[in-house]
Amino acid sequence: MEPLALTGLEIAPSQVFGSIRLVPLLRRGGSADLRLSRRAYHEDVAIVALGGDDRSGPSLAYFSYVPHGLVLSWSEDGTAAEAAYGGQIEKQNVFRLDQSGFSTARMLHRMVKREAPRRLRFLPLHMAMEGFLSLFFGGPSIAWGEYSRQALRDGLSPRSERVIFGPSVRGLEDALRLFEIHDRQVGVLIFVAEALASAFVTSDPEDYRALHPTLLEDFYGDLIYQYGQFYDTTVPLSVAIEDKSIHQLSDLRAAADRVRAEWGAFHGFQAGDLIGRPASAQTLYSAGPFRIERFITDLDPARENHIGEMIRRDGTGELMYLKTYRLSAAQTRRVYLLSQLAANEWNLNQTAAALGTDRNGLTLRLSNAGFGYLLHPEILAAAHKSEWIARAGGGEGQ
């Protein structure tokens, strides 16, 4: 577990449109040895082969709407890398679907795929979501008698999550269109009604300008959608410069710099459930002096929790790329329960004790989280009967 840090970046004062607060992230120095570019996909759905190869077929596949991929180019000696704008090296593997609800689909091989020396393609944010869907979702590791045959045979497969796409978040499209981009800007923190919706970082200001519109193609959580519907404005925030301290232009410039620093510190505090938060990271690929990782914050049900992916420079830890997704409270509860089961070898009694409840209480929590199918029907029936008896007894006592 390492804290997530915006190493090499500084936080600038925010801009506000309605309930959307956009906080620019600026890079202190140049980083020309890593570049990112967009590759557009126009199909209704993507089928990503996670295992196997083109000849034998995939052993596992990920299905989702994937509007674009990112092409990563880098150099290993610190010299400038060239962004592959418009590059379409990937083989076109598109076909039509019948009676499926979709008209076209694209086959993609792996989440991260090397295409040429010092160039690879990856699917932004989907690396994190696929990791989230597979995290702790393998099912019982021991054939405990309490679990159903389906759970012992297939685990929790298939797993799915519902997300909201950018155009559905009220005000986001207009805010991104009106957003003023700084000269050194390489990223942004997006707040909706003061709730952190997403963080996005690139390596180069030119790349950020090209990729800024893709924020509308990203997906967001239900909570962010609801906040956009329920709130029209952000919390009013204001700062002031003391007139008495201003005697000349240099004083005014120093005072403005202090205000900017205070604003940046405050926005960092606003994003405190992500920035500086311990996160568990998994390295997916090493690209010269850079590491591609996906991560999940420490699963604290009482706090915001985020999944995401990042690219960091070896040695310095400089953050070259970042994209995050905020989990809903329900998603956090589900993965937290599964993580506790996995930590206790899927033993119901042992897990219940770790959670400060009893076997029936844990069974009901699993059922309410949508995991009732994991357990034998008799186990579920006994837990619901116990709950009904407890409630009936409480009513009689009153």
CA-to-CA separations, 244 to 20, 255, 259, 262, in angstroms, rounded? 34, 11, 16, 19
Measured torsion, CA atoms of residues 30, 269, 330, 110, in degrees rounded to the nearest 10: 10
- Grouping H, G, I as helix, E, B as strand and the rest as coil, residue 94 is strand
Distance CA 123, CA 41 (A): 11
Burial class of residue 103, CB neighbours in 10 A (0-12, 13-18, 19+):
exposed
Q: How far apart are CA 263 and CA 27, in angstroms?
A: 17
Give the phi and the psi of residue 116 in degrees, each rounded to 5: -160, 165
Strand spans (E) along the chain:
2-3, 9-11, 15-17, 20-27, 34-40, 45-49, 61-64, 68-74, 94-96, 104-109, 112-116, 119-122, 164-165, 185-192, 195-201, 219-220, 278-287, 290-297, 306-313, 319-326
Instruction: Collect the ranges in the chain with pLDDT lower than 50.
Output: 53-58, 87, 89, 396-398
The single residue listed with the structure tokens 């019982």 is 140
**96 pairs with which residues across the strands?**
104
Give Cα separations from 4 to 126, 154, 197, 314, 318 (angstroms): 19, 34, 16, 15, 11
Query: Residue 97: its pLDDT value, please?
Result: 62
Q: What's residue 73's pLDDT?
A: 93
Measure the CA–CA gap between 196 and 198, rounded to whole angstroms: 6
Tokens 């923190």 sit at which residue? 189
Selection from 49, 77, 43, 74 nearest residue 63 by Cα: 49
pLDDT computed for residue 398 by the predictor: 41
Q: Which two tokens stand for residue 20?
A: 């959307």
Which pLDDT belongs to residue 96? 63
- Burial class of residue 386, CB neighbours in 10 A (0-12, 13-18, 19+): middle
In the block, tokens 């699917």 appear at 123
How confident is the model over 349-376, as pLDDT tens digits?
999 999 999 999 999 999 998 888 889 8
The reported pTM is: 0.86
Distance (Å, whole) CA 386 – CA 357 = 14
pLDDT number for residue 253 = 77
Which one, of 323, 275, 235, 303, lies nearest residue 21 by Cα? 235
What residues pair up with 108 in beta bridges, in sequence order? 48
Query: What are the helix (H) ranges across the chain?
Result: 126-134, 149-154, 172-178, 205-211, 222-230, 249-270, 329-343, 348-354, 359-368, 377-397
Q: 31 CB contacts (<8 Å, ≥6 apart)?
A: 8, 203, 204, 318, 320
* Cα 25 from Cα 133, distance rounded (Å): 29
